[in-house]
Structure 1
Amino acid sequence: MDLLNLEIFQSVARNQSISGAAKELQYAQSNITTRIQQLEAEFETTLLYRHNRGVTLTDKGHTLLAYSERILSLIEEMNNEVTDSQTIKGKLNIGYIETTAAIRLPKLISKFHKSFPKVELALTSGVSEGNFNAVLQHELDGAFIADAIYHDDLIQTKFVDEELILITNTQVAQGITLDKLNNCTILVFHKGCAYRKKLEDFLHSQWIVPKKTMEFGSLDAIMGCVSAGLGVTMMPRSLVKRYILNGSDLQHIFPKFNVNVTTMFIHRKDKYISPALSKLLDMIKKGSSL
C-alpha cells in the first residue's frame, strides 16, 4: 500500500472535496482522483459518495479513515522515536471557536510559532459541537471547545475560564426588563455553539421565549448587529470589553445573570501525542498566563 494514498484520502475526507484536497496538497485534481481510485480498487469497495457539493465518506470510508489515522500516527511516532533530531516539527490540525480566536488564541499561536517554527499549524474554525465531532472522527488532532463535553475517547485540558454576560446596545438597554426579552431578537451562532446553548438555557429558566432568533456565521457579524441595536446576545466579558474599546455601542444588562464557562482543549486518548502536540498542550495548560 502506498502511504501517500492514505494521506491524500485523509485530505479529501478533511476537506470533503477533491478540489479542496488538491488545493491543500498542491496536486492536480486528476492526481487526487487517481489516487482515490487506486485505494478503491485495492480494497474493492467504494470509499466516497460523489455529489454536487463535494464528497461524503461511505461506511467503509469512515473505517479506512480511522485506520489510516492510526497507521500514519504510528509512522510519525516511529520517525520521532528513531531519529536523532531534536527539532520539533510536523503538522497539527487544530480546531478553534471564534471567540477564543478573538481573545486568547493569537498570543498562544504566536508564542507557539516562535518557539517551534518547524511545526505547520492548520487552524479550522467551528462551533464547539462541530469541533468535538471532528476530533472524535480523527479529522482534527485537537480542538478548543466552550465548556466540558465528556466522552470516554477524549482527554480534556483546561485552557481558561470565561464569564459570559448578556449584552445589547445602549438604546435597547434603556428600561429593559426580563419580561421585555420576550419581544427581543437574540443573535447567536449556528446550533452546536456552547454560548448559544448557555443563552437559550438562561432564557428557558426565566420562562422567556424571544420573538426571533437570528443565526450568524461570524463573530463580527453578531457583535456589529448587537451594536446596531438589532437584539441581544451572550458573550465573554473580556471580548465585550475589547469591542467597547474599539468603539462598539454595547451595554451589559442583568449583571446578576452572568454565566461562567471554561474553554477546554480536547484530543483523542488513543492518538499518538507527537512532540509538537505535547508542546502545544504544555502551553495550553498555562493558558491563563498568556
Structure 2
Amino acid sequence: MDTAALQVFQAAARSGSVSKAAQLLNYAQSNVTTKIKQLEKELGAPLFYRHNRGITLTPAGKTLLAYADKALRLLEEARKAVQDASTPTGPLSIGSMETTAAVRLPHLLADYHRMCPEVDLAFVTGPSQHLIQAVLDYSLDGAFVMGPVEHPELLQDSVFEEELVLVTDALRPRPEFPKELTDRTVLVFRSGCSYRAKLLGWLQEEGVMPVKIMEFGTLETIIGCIAAGLGVSLLPESIVRSKARESLVRFYPIPERYGRVQTVFIRRKDAYLTQAYKLFLHEIKQRFLLPDSPGQPS
C-alpha cells in the first residue's frame, strides 16, 4: 500500500468525486480510478459505492479513511521533523474569531511576519465552534476562540478577557433592556458564534424573544447596520469603543455572567511543534498570556 495510493483515496473520499480528486491532485482521472482499483484489489474489498452523483464510501472505505488520515498525517509530521531548521519556515495555519482578529491580533501578525518572512502563514476567521472543529480535524494548527474549551485532545491557553456589551445606534435613547429587545432586530454572526450564543442565552433566560434575528458574515457589516438603526448586537467593548467616541453607536453593560468572557488559544495535544509554531506560541505568551493560563506553550 503506497503513499500515493492513500493520497488519491483520501482525496476521492473527501471530495466524493473521482474527477474532483483528479483536479485536486493534478492527476489524470484515469490515474485516480486505477489507483483506487489497485487499493481495492490489494485489500480485497470495495472502498466506494459508485452512483450517478459521484462516489460514497463503503464501510470498508470508512475504516480505511480513518487509518489513511492518521498515516498521512504522521508522514507529514516526519517530513517536518526532518526538514525543520533553526530558521522558521514552512506553513502555519491559524484561526480566530473575527472580533479578536480585528482588534487584538493585527500587531502580532505583522510583527511575526517581519520576524519570520519565510513562514507561509495562513490566517482565517470564523465562529468559535467551527474553529474548534478545524483544529480537531488538523485543518488549523491553532485558533483563538471563546473559552473555556474542554476537550481531551486539546490544550488551551488563556490569552485575554473581554467585556461584552449591548450595542445600539447612537440616536436611540438608552433602551429598557432586555424587555425592549422584544421589538428590536438582533444582528448576529452565523451559527457557531459564541457571542451569538451568549446573547440568545441571556434573552432566553429573561423570557425575551427578539422580533427578528439577522445573520451577517463580517464585523464591519454588523457595526454599520447597528449605526444605521437596523438593530442591536452583543460585541466586545474593545471593538466598539472607538465607534462610540465617533458617536456612531452606543453601548451598555449586561449582566456579568454573560458579559465577561475569556479568549483562549487552542491547539491539539499531539500537534508537532515546528520552529515556526514554537515562535508563534512564544509571541502569544509574551504579548497576551494570562498568569493563570493552564497551557504550556514552548
Partner in structure 1 of residue 231 of structure 2: 231
Distance 1:46 1:94, change over 3 A: farther
Q: Pick the structure with greater CA Rg.
A: 2
Matched residues in 2 for 1:16 and 1:142: separation? 27
Distance 1:276 1:248, change over 3 A: farther
Identical pairs, percent: 38
Partner in structure 1 of residue 249 of structure 2: 250
Partner in structure 1 of residue 220 of structure 2: 220
Give 1:48 shift: 10
Larger deviation: 65-74 or 90-99? 65-74
Give 1:20 shift: 9.2
Does residue 151 in structure 1 map to residue 151 in structure 2?
yes
- Aligned partner of 2:36 among 40, 48, 53: 40
Partner in structure 1 of residue 295 of structure 2: none
Matched residues in 2 for 1:175 and 1:273: separation? 50
Partner in structure 1 of residue 176 of structure 2: 177
In the superposition, the TM-score normalised over structure 1's length comes to: 0.79
- Equivalent runs, 1:66-215 vs 2, <5 Å: 67-83=67-83, 85-172=85-172, 174-178=173-177, 179-215=179-215
Matched residues in 2 for 1:103 and 1:50: separation? 48
In the superposition, the TM-score normalised over structure 2's length comes to: 0.77
Quick check: 2:170–2:250 contact (8 Å CA) kept in 1?
A: yes
Quick check: 2:90–2:120 contact (8 Å CA) kept in 1?
A: yes
Matched residues in 1 for 2:162 and 2:77: separation? 35
Q: Tell me the amino acid that sits aligned with residue 250 of structure 2.
A: Q
Larger deviation: 135-144 or 67-76? 67-76
Quick check: 1:47–1:60 contact (8 Å CA) kept in 2?
A: no
* RMSD value, Cα: 3.6
Distance 1:175 1:131, change over 3 A: closer
Q: Tell me the amino acid that sits aligned with residue 142 of structure 1.
A: G
Distance 1:238 1:254, change over 3 A: closer
Larger deviation: 163-172 or 262-271? 262-271
Quick check: 1:70–1:271 contact (8 Å CA) kept in 2?
A: no
Q: Tell me the amino acid that sits aligned with residue 101 of structure 1.
A: A
Give 1:139 shift: 2.1
Quick check: 1:48–1:58 contact (8 Å CA) kept in 2?
A: no
Give 1:115 shift: 1.6
Matched residues in 2 for 1:122 and 1:61: separation? 31
Matched residues in 1 for 2:67 and 2:8: separation? 14
Give 1:223 shift: 0.8
Larger deviation: 278-287 or 259-268? 278-287
Residues 94-130 of structure 1 show CA distances to partners (whole Å, capped at 9, x for unaligned) of: 2222111111222121122122222111222221111
Residues 181-216 of structure 1 show CA distances to partners (whole Å, capped at 9, x for unaligned) of: 111111001111001011112212322221111111
Larger deviation: 252-261 or 196-205? 252-261
Distance 1:167 1:58, change over 3 A: farther
Quick check: 2:164–2:260 contact (8 Å CA) kept in 1?
A: yes
